[in-house]
Amino acid sequence: GGSRGNPGPGGCGAAVVRIGNVRGGHEICWAVGMSYAAASTTNNVVENMGLLTGLKACLRFGWTPLHVVGDSNLIIHQQKTRTPPRAKHLRPLYWQSRRVADKLAVISWQHHPRAHNSKADALANMAMDSRRSFQRNLNRVCGSDSIWDDVYNYASGDVSHWMEQNSDENSSGLAAF
């Protein structure tokens, strides 16, 4: 997630990817881009919203076990160590995410540098540029259209890099980026 101006209008992106035992090594199951128009939107708010939105999708569709991968080292560390943020306005988002994560079988919480999390970054930028929120359950929709080409193109590099970094772990199941 990010905001233009920090604070300023912002957006977040999240994707759920099935890894292992699929042709090509992975498939995108679900993707979202959320637009936030408020001039008071901060990076930390939208990054927490991206996590919460992705976790809620996994819960809704029963996608578990789950690796959670994100480019905000702060948020990944807070969730991994169960340490709420100091900023009071972020605590409700933290606790909402924590409650949903506790209902899911989260295998790991991993920081993934932004350079290798371009799929979520592209989704956030699409939402900010269009000033519209969108989501797509890709398990139910066949084919793609031009708006999703960037997501598909970025996914291969992001997921391949993550799988290379985690080749000695149990990396089958689902990963939320």
Domains (range + CATH), the chain: 2-176 (3.30.420.10)
Does 155 have pLDDT greater than 90? no
Amino acid 36 reads Y
User: In the chain, which ranges are continuous DSSP H helix?
Assistant: 43-61, 73-81, 91-103, 118-130, 146-165
Over residues 42-56, the pLDDT tens digits come to: 999 999 999 999 999
Smallest Cα–Cα separation from 58: which of 114, 97, 115? 97
Over residues 99-134, the pLDDT tens digits come to: 999 999 899 999 887 776 777 778 888 888 889 998
pLDDT of residue 86: 97
pLDDT of residue 105: 86
Average pLDDT over residues 83-96: 97
Q: Return all residues near 76 (Cβ < 8 A) that are at least 6 apart.
A: 68, 70, 109, 110, 111
The residue length of the chain stands at 177
3-state percent helix, strand, coil for the chain, nearest multiple of 5: 45, 25, 30
Sign of the CA dihedral running 131, 132, 138, 144 = negative
Q: How far apart are CA 49 and CA 96, in angstroms?
A: 10
Q: How far apart are CA 1 and CA 45, in angstroms?
A: 8
